[in-house]
Structure 1
Amino acid sequence: MTHAEERLDDEVLDDAGSDEAGEALTAVLPAELAGQRLDKALAPLFPDLSRARLQALIAEGRLSAEGQPVTDASRKAKAGTYVLLVPPPIPADPEPEAIPLTVLYEDAHLIVVDKPAGMAAHPAPGSLTGTLVNALLHHCGDSLSGVGGVARPGIVHRLDKDTSGVMVAAKSDAAHKGLSALFATHDIDRLYIALTRGAPSPPAGTITTQLGRSPGDRKKMAVLRSGGREAVTHYRVEAAFGPQEKPLAARVACRLETGRTHQIRVHMASKGSPCLGDPVYGTGQPAAAVREAIQAAGLKRQALHAAVLGFVHPITGEALRFETPLPEDMAALQKSLEAL
């Protein structure tokens, strides 16, 4: 796996449903092409796409074979029907926008910010403006690293659009490469705070699964029996709210060992304790008192905050660690939950 592949998988596919206006291309792979590398076998069936573009789309989980997601372009091709979802094009050159940023740290090589909920990391269909990239282009000007490409300058990892918290972006190419390497080898301290429906059991543990596109809904990620990519989350219930024998909600600290798309949201849901307010993975209704607390707090997104980001500065070697408190909506919700 390349550093770029690992980097762009980190914790979010911003606005996962935003590519719904894309095009679904269907092709039938004949038996005589079976046995070749998958990308090579499919290339002549999708003549409008370069092989590199095809490989990238497969890596993003946009290919399915007989209804099952396929993410390995190097696997041997099998005869059958393939569907490739091609997202619509987005503007190649994001414009600088004078969006206020909460800057936690900045030097010539990198910048660390506290991203608010509602801000996408970079332009994508459905979020073409108002993104962190637009704000960074205005704040950093020409110093922003271009290694991430014109649409994602400086971006080395991502948070969900509606997940708040600490993010780092590269201002120099050297820092971009160094940070990408740290994320690829998981040499990053990442701690998230989730407010969940009920409390996961046991109250502390490690969740290890394979994560990939949901076979039934490609806008969602899911725990898969086979395929996908390994995802590891260490969690601990810091506080449980409501009756001790059956908590109505909890504050859960989640430390990432890997950084897969929607990892914490899927893992908490898989334990029967999804993030409160999660519109995608929050199946099941919270208790009435918790619903009232959510409404009173004004929470209109998943209750998930990237509270801690720690890493070794890729240029200076300095150990850096940044921690931010819960934003207003989650802090208000936690206060109400403590009164249950």
Structure 2
Amino acid sequence: MNHKKTREGSYLFQVAEEAELLPFLLENMKKNSRNSIKSMLTRGQVSVNGQTVTKHNYKLVAGQKVEILNNKSARNESSLTGLSIIYEDESIIVIDKEAGLLSMAAKDKNEKTAFSEVSSYVKKQNPGQRIFIVHRLDRDTSGVLLFAKSEMVKMQLQDNWDEFVKERIYTTLVQGNVKKEKDTIKSWLKETRTYKVYSNPTDNGGQLAITHYRKIRSNRQYSLLEVRLETGRKNQIRVHMEEIGHPVVGDKKYGSTVNPIKRLGLHATALTIVHPISKEIMKFESEIPSSILNKSL
């Protein structure tokens, strides 16, 4: 079995004997997980003798050439603005959103949002395909964002969020040197008429919010924290960081006085879910932006 790198970012395999496409790819791309290979197929990154093939059980015959376009090249070719696709199948689509892009519903109807970009992306493959918002990230928060491809899957995920979402991890750059190596913040959050969320140590009729953090590293000016959400309330991390006296960098609304990275120091690093259809546990990750990483060195 031989393979060689062809044009920038693609690999070519020669088929030696009859096989189904998915098992063939799993055998020849051992460094890639089953999920990532299935995602490549769904996204049209795999072609046989120059024809794009998405069927897992497509029958290969000896002599055919199988070409795989890598993620980076596929993303470049898809011409998406402000985001890239991490994973996609028939039920869900997971993206890596850049800071500055709204999740959805901009006041300016012409402004690009993650929703509008992903929506036009799926419609290119299937004009009847729709996508549905499952959860959101603030405009200036980057990282992993999940969409559903049907209303049924959206409702399933939203109605049983705590059951389906096993872990949500954020990397957060905050002001000052956080003294505690790790801690849990628990309070009740309520939103004012001016859309600012405030925190109360006892039940004030608001929503219970629980945030766990551990310090990755710090210097005199900044600390880099790994934050795990036990509950997912609006602005939860931002409010809780202000509460412990270390607001998220760039977060003027919740107490930050500095903005050296010209964005919010908040990145959705990982999302682990139970797949709504296959029930498989899947973890989606996004690389931490260097602007957030480097300030705490």
TM-score of the alignment, normalized to the shorter chain, above 0.5: yes
Q: Per the alignment, in what secondary structure is the counterpart of residue 165 of structure 2? A: coil
On the 8 A contact 1:156/1:169 being kept in 2, the answer is: yes
Partner deviation per Cα, 1:213-256 (whole Å, 9 max, x = no partner): 14xx62311103512111010111111113xxxxx211011100
| Aligned position for 2:14 | none
The answer to whether the Cα contact below 8 Å between 1:99 and 1:130 also exists between their aligned partners in 2 is: no
User: Equivalent residue for 1:319?
Assistant: 281
Q: How many residues end up aligned between the 2 structures?
A: 213
CA displacement, residues 122-148 of structure 1 (integer Å, 9 cap, x when unaligned): 114357621111112201123224xxx
SS of residue in 2 equivalent to 1:200: coil
143, 147, 155: which is aligned to 2:129?
143
The one of the two structures with greater contact order (alpha-carbon pairs below 8 A, sep at least 6) is 1
Alignment of structure 1 residues 1-340 onto 2, 5 Å = 99-100=80-81, 101-125=83-107, 129-141=111-123, 142-145=128-131, 154-185=132-163, 187-214=165-192, 218-224=194-200, 225=202, 226-242=204-220, 248-283=221-256, 285=257, 294=260, 299-330=261-292, 334-338=293-297
Q: What are structure 1's unaligned runs of at least 5 residues?
A: 1-97, 146-153, 243-247
Give 2:143's aligned amino acid: G
Task: State the TM-score, normalizing by the size of structure 2.
Answer: 0.66
Shift of 1:262: 0.5
Specify whether residues 237 and 162 from structure 1 end up closer, same or farther in structure 2 by C-alpha distance, changes over 3 A only. same
Q: Give the C-alpha shift of residue 178 in structure 1.
A: 2.4
The 8 Å contact of residues 182 and 188 in structure 1, kept in 2 or not, is answered as no
Q: Distance in 1 between matches of 2:168 and 2:227?
A: 8
1:140 and 1:171 in contact (8 A); partners too: no
Whichever residue aligns with residue 223 of structure 1, its letter is S
Structure 1 residues 206 and 249, CA, compared in 2 at 3 Å: closer, same or farther?
same
Question: Which of 154-163 and 167-176 deviates more?
Answer: 167-176
1:259 maps to a residue whose letter is G
More strand by share: 2
Change (3 A) 1:184 1:312: closer
C-alpha change, 1:239 and 1:99, in structure 2 (3 Å) is same
Counterpart of 1:122, as a letter, is M
